[in-house]
Amino acid sequence: MRIADLYIRVSTDEQADKGYSQRLQEDVLLKYCEINAIKVRKIIFEDHSAKTFERPEWIKLLAELKKYKGKTDLVLFTKWDRFSRNASDAYQMISTLRKIGVEPQAIEQPLDMNIPENKMMLAVYLTTPEIENDRRALNVKTGMRQARKEGRWLGVAPPGYINKTRENGTKYVAIDEPEATHMRWSFEQIAEGVFTTQEIWKMAKHRGLKCSATSFRTALRNVGYCGKVLVPAYKNEEMQIVQGLHQPLISEVLFYKAQEMMDGRVRDIGINSSHGILVVVPDKLPLRGFLKCSRCSRLLTGSASKGRNDYYHYYHCQPSCGCR
């Protein structure tokens, strides 16, 4: 009597699809074994995608089959797409199993691997679901691109906005207070050019902004804040910025003024002729980049410190020097 392990796989997005339930697969496989006098050694349930064989239960099964050779003759599943949705990986896994004396077989798409022509049918069974996956992914990508062209803001909302769903199921982003006020204030501070981005982030956090420094810097570059949507370049289409359907948090003028300040393209700059560099000159730190450190002779920078009631500006050297 031959001995078989039953492999039952269903991915999360297939749970509700007709014909893919684990219970149905189990019933079909058990009836097949009963009719064909096959002894069932164990039943393996997998809830994972078949794009690769990096699946927890399959890895355990394969390790067991290699360790205890001869205890199982067959690995049975309902269809070949339950086994794999990647043709190249599937051929390699079939070869691995046959080397340890185990024959993989789909009971609803049976193939005798000793007949050379059946390898062509196997290719059809394996590549069909792979093509379906690729087509589905392409359709999703095309749909998302079209949605962006129509002004929809996709993905996780940045600080100051929140993801919401309407009654009809469509998703959108809405302004989220008080985070929106903190982000608006941050853009205004960036545009003034008095403080560094890091300093503004710290002050915004003190005001109540819940955002990491990295997310904050990324958010400041997001054109969505002024009511626009970025459509990335794709194939022969160039990158474009379209009018968004969401409510802008700041004006375009303020957004691009902040971008210029972060890029260093600001009007209020001085030129330190002795070093040949551009130096940003805020009103409250007019000598930043011109004064020399009394200890190490490097050019002093400047920043603001939070006091009890206000921010106070100081010239200082690099942290390694400590001159203030």
- Sequence ranges of the domains in the chain: 3-133, 161-263, 269-316
CA pair distance 170, 185, nearest whole angstrom: 30
Is pLDDT at 83 greater than 60 in this prediction?
yes
Q: What is the pLDDT of residue 54?
A: 92
- Check whether 198 has a pLDDT greater than 80: yes
Instruction: Confirm or reject CATH 3.40.50.1390 for domain 3-133, answering yes or no.
Output: yes
The answer to whether 112 and 105 are in contact (CB under 8 A) is no
Residues 223-244, mean pLDDT to the nearest whole number = 89
Q: How far is CA 78 from the centre of its chain?
A: 33
* Tens digits of residue pLDDT in 102-131: 999 999 999 887 888 888 888 888 888 778
State residue 20's pLDDT score. 55
pLDDT at 266 exceeding the cut of 50:
no
Max CA pair span of the chain: 93
Is residue 323 pLDDT above 90, yes or no?
no
126 vs 241: which has the higher pLDDT: 241
Place of tokens 């096959």: 38
Placement of tokens 């400041």 in the chain: 220
* Pairing status of strand 277-280 against strand 269-272: antiparallel
Higher pLDDT, 279 or 174: 174
Q: Which of 227, 266, 272 is nearest to 249 (CA)?
A: 227
| Number of residues written out for the chain | 324
Q: Where residue 319 falls among pLDDT bands split at 50, 70, 90? A: confident
How many DSSP H helices and E strands does the chain contain? 9, 12
What pLDDT is recorded for position 271? 41
| CATH of region 161-263 | 3.90.1750.20
